[in-house]
Chains A and B, each alone.
Chain A
């Protein structure tokens, strides 16, 4: 059974490209448009008996941003242990500290290098 990765980004281009890179590497992907959407998708996945193995999320999104999403995920008993990788253009120390404090597992920077993403994902896979 292939591993499932939830890709959260408000830009369809970005979502498409990240998913594409992950699919090429044999991962199954699910997509969500923003934090809120991601939480809904997570709930449906839970009901359906599946769980993403890793979550990759953007920060800047409408409705609910990535930081808040991480915080919410860490509150959910079913998903609090799922590694969450942030994939964003933000690369300031302050922002990273906010991400880390919120409970993000890792911080990846856009424009992304698919090899690096894959390397990191393989590293955090439970």
Chain B
């Protein structure tokens, strides 16, 4: 009976996934602020949508469960109850269960009557003082059951009925046209008389033309049973507004019935071809949900078969690929792209037209067209990249719940602060970064943050803080996981490393090399294993995952004050915006995002510090100068900084000034790894093929900075 909705299944699951996220994050907000009605409304709507849409695909358990959750949320939303900790715990548990049901539906596994579901349902039902009525329990009482008992006689004899109809005043406003109704009964037989009563009309001054003050009494001679007449009016007439009386066909003196016979009205509805119609139009049989459900069930097998079919295909697909490969893209983005491709096609045809009959005086036109082509290409590239970009918030969203659960489990008070969730990065990177981040957050909860007593003793606030942040920096994205816990313990790490034979006792290692030890496979300083972390798997996985993405992990730690893990990740996978520069005869690319500014200094801005190299004074701040020709051992055009160009570059919050001969222009470059094809070259991040076919090296700003520092220390 219902149409084929299987093509909406994918949309449904995507939408439900979003709703589940809303539910979970909403509940966590609610825990802090139990009376936030806006949040309650939001999560209520989410659950409500799952409940409403689920059965369309045959996911009845999911829908029934959502309904149970909803019955708990509703009184909260209407401020009949306040959300207690217990209720929120229960709701969170229910959210997990709902998630499980959705997953099961997605994979086509049947867990319909699992114990978890039933237990939770029972708990949800009893957690409120007012018991929630289940929809199925409503029985169709009275009207519908008595309907078959007193059916109006179906007869082929022409009968005469007197129909009195006093419509509600809002008849017109409900979009109903009385004329149509009379036309319809007119088709059923002969209208002998029709009297319009105007007694309800107010004074002209008070008359609202949008309201219906009229009423009608008409006599109809028809072969149809009374039920059919009533069905014409069934959604137009309010209860009591319609009276149909059977008159002896010969008699014209019969009085109209004064009151509607409710019994009759019900039986009438019972005769309607589709009894649900009465339901739709606010009829009397508002209890017949059960009936509808039964009828819905009748279509379930066919629906189910289709849904299962679809699931089977989906499951087969998901087996092949570990990561879900579809993503929702704003239609606007796609439309824009289609437009751009159209423009590209136009440019292309203009160019071929030009090329077909090219003369040298057309050169300016050619250049103009080429410029247009460049613009098109660039825009398309940006848009295509943009399609893959998602806000990192999707990767962060799991942490509030994780931290909440861990803090409860370990009896620590932990607060999670998230910022920068709107930072966009490539979908692949977002997906791959989830696990490493989870490890870091778990570690912070378990190891780094001290128990409350210890924190108080150390003069810190009882509640520990974990801070997640993400931001763009120099063409990369930085994600930091920061805690205000005890910090890494150098001695403990060293002792453990010696014990595990990673290093010998004789080595004297600088701090950052000591910190790097925690990334060694199998390394752990925890004496006892907890089920949260400390099994020595984790940090090495973090490092490996991040490096697989072309990123880096850095640790900054202060004993007793906390630790910051910084993940540096590439924003996009292969293309960067670069500035081409020249030193002597050679061209290099500097990632555009690391360039803060470029200046041509005056001679008095440059100072040589004895033993510390040279620096340039830019608006009162001294920066070390790195002469690129010295780094790469080239023959430059200028050796005097006042004649050359200085680029101020930034990475990881540090700045360095690089001296070059000339800035040639901006272009997008595709990064090719040198390391893979040759070997690691200091100060060079990769190579690219320039417009003229030659190879250009891309500068590694971070590497250059390191070199600048070394130069300074050597000079010392």
Residues on A facing B (Cβ under 8 Å): 10-14, 16-17, 20-21, 24, 60-62, 74, 80-85, 88-89, 91, 93, 96-97, 99-100, 103-116, 119-120, 123-124, 126
Q: Which residue of B lies closest to A109 (CB)?
A: B292
- B174 contacts A105, C-beta separation under 8 Å: yes
Contact of A104 among B5, B172, B174 (CB under 8 A): B174
| CA gap between A44 and B199 in the complex, in Å | 41
- A13 contacts B12, C-beta separation under 8 Å: yes
Contact of A113 among B2, B12, B51 (CB under 8 A): B2
- B49 contacts A81, C-beta separation under 8 Å: no
B residues near A12, Cβ cutoff 8 Å: 11, 15
- B49 contacts A10, C-beta separation under 8 Å: yes
A residues near B72, Cβ cutoff 8 Å: none
- Residue of B44, B170, B174, B274 most packed against chain A (CB within 10 A): B174
Contact of B42 among A62, A81, A104, A120 (CB under 8 A): A62
B628 at the binding interface (Cβ < 8 Å) = no
- A60 contacts B289, C-beta separation under 8 Å: no
- A105 contacts B175, C-beta separation under 8 Å: yes
- A110 contacts B52, C-beta separation under 8 Å: yes
- B172 contacts A13, C-beta separation under 8 Å: no
B48 at the binding interface (Cβ < 8 Å) = yes
B198 at the binding interface (Cβ < 8 Å) = no
11 contacts between A and B (CB under 8 A): A11-B53, A13-B15, A13-B56, A60-B48, A62-B41, A81-B175, A88-B52, A91-B135, A105-B176, A106-B281, A112-B56
Per-residue 0/1 for B265-304: is the Cβ within 8 Å of any A Cβ (1 yes, 0 no)?
Answer: 0000000001011011110001001001001100100000
Contact of A116 among B63, B280, B289 (CB under 8 A): B280
Interface residues of B in 1-31 (CB under 8 A from A): 1-3, 5, 8, 11-12, 15
- A62 contacts B175, C-beta separation under 8 Å: no
- B280 contacts A107, C-beta separation under 8 Å: yes
Contacts A60-B44, A89-B52, A96-B286 known; A13 to B175 CB distance under 8 Å?
no
A92 CB to nearest chain B CB (Å)? 8
B536 at the binding interface (Cβ < 8 Å) = no
| CA gap between A61 and B41 in the complex, in Å | 9
A residues near B55, Cβ cutoff 8 Å: 110-111
Count CB-based A-B contacts (< 8 Å).
132
Contacts A60-B48, A105-B176, A111-B55 known; A20 to B12 CB distance under 8 Å?
no
Leading 8 A-B pairs by shortest Cβ distance: A83-B175, A111-B55, A110-B52, A89-B52, A13-B12, A11-B49, A106-B280, A100-B282
B500 CB to nearest chain A CB (Å)? 54
Contact of A83 among B5, B49, B176 (CB under 8 A): B176
| CA gap between A52 and B36 in the complex, in Å | 37
| CA gap between A114 and B303 in the complex, in Å | 13
A87 CB to nearest chain B CB (Å)? 9
| CA gap between A10 and B172 in the complex, in Å | 28
B residues near A17, Cβ cutoff 8 Å: 3, 5, 8, 53, 56
- A119 contacts B289, C-beta separation under 8 Å: no
B388 at the binding interface (Cβ < 8 Å) = no
Contacts A10-B45, A60-B48 known; A96 to B173 CB distance under 8 Å?
no
Contacts A89-B51, A103-B173 known; A11 to B15 CB distance under 8 Å?
yes
B210 at the binding interface (Cβ < 8 Å) = yes
- B11 contacts A81, C-beta separation under 8 Å: no
| CA gap between A96 and B286 in the complex, in Å | 9
| CA gap between A123 and B44 in the complex, in Å | 33
A residues near B42, Cβ cutoff 8 Å: 62
| CA gap between A112 and B12 in the complex, in Å | 15
Interface residues of B in 299-343 (CB under 8 A from A): 299
Contact of B277 among A83, A97, A123 (CB under 8 A): A123
B272 CB to nearest chain A CB (Å)? 11
A residues near B51, Cβ cutoff 8 Å: 89
- A120 contacts B280, C-beta separation under 8 Å: yes
B residues near A16, Cβ cutoff 8 Å: 8, 11
| CA gap between A99 and B11 in the complex, in Å | 29
B177 at the binding interface (Cβ < 8 Å) = yes
| CA gap between A93 and B235 in the complex, in Å | 16
B residues near A14, Cβ cutoff 8 Å: 49, 52-53, 56
- A126 contacts B177, C-beta separation under 8 Å: yes
A residues near B177, Cβ cutoff 8 Å: 126
Contacts A13-B11, A14-B49, A91-B135 known; A111 to B296 CB distance under 8 Å?
yes
| CA gap between A100 and B546 in the complex, in Å | 59
Contacts A106-B235, A113-B2, A119-B277 known; A91 to B173 CB distance under 8 Å?
no
- Residue of A13, A112, A116 most packed against chain B (CB within 10 A): A13
B62 CB to nearest chain A CB (Å)? 12
- B8 contacts A74, C-beta separation under 8 Å: no
B3 CB to nearest chain A CB (Å)? 5
B68 CB to nearest chain A CB (Å)? 13
A residues near B170, Cβ cutoff 8 Å: 74, 103
B residues near A106, Cβ cutoff 8 Å: 235, 280-282
Contacts A14-B53, A109-B289, A110-B52 known; A116 to B174 CB distance under 8 Å?
no
Interface residues of B in 112-157 (CB under 8 A from A): 135
B242 CB to nearest chain A CB (Å)? 16
Contacts A13-B15, A89-B51 known; A24 to B3 CB distance under 8 Å?
yes
- A84 contacts B292, C-beta separation under 8 Å: no
- B235 contacts A20, C-beta separation under 8 Å: no
- A124 contacts B2, C-beta separation under 8 Å: no
| CA gap between A84 and B175 in the complex, in Å | 8
| CA gap between A124 and B181 in the complex, in Å | 11
- B45 contacts A61, C-beta separation under 8 Å: yes
| CA gap between A126 and B175 in the complex, in Å | 8
- Residue of A80, A89, A106 most packed against chain B (CB within 10 A): A89
B residues near A114, Cβ cutoff 8 Å: 1-3
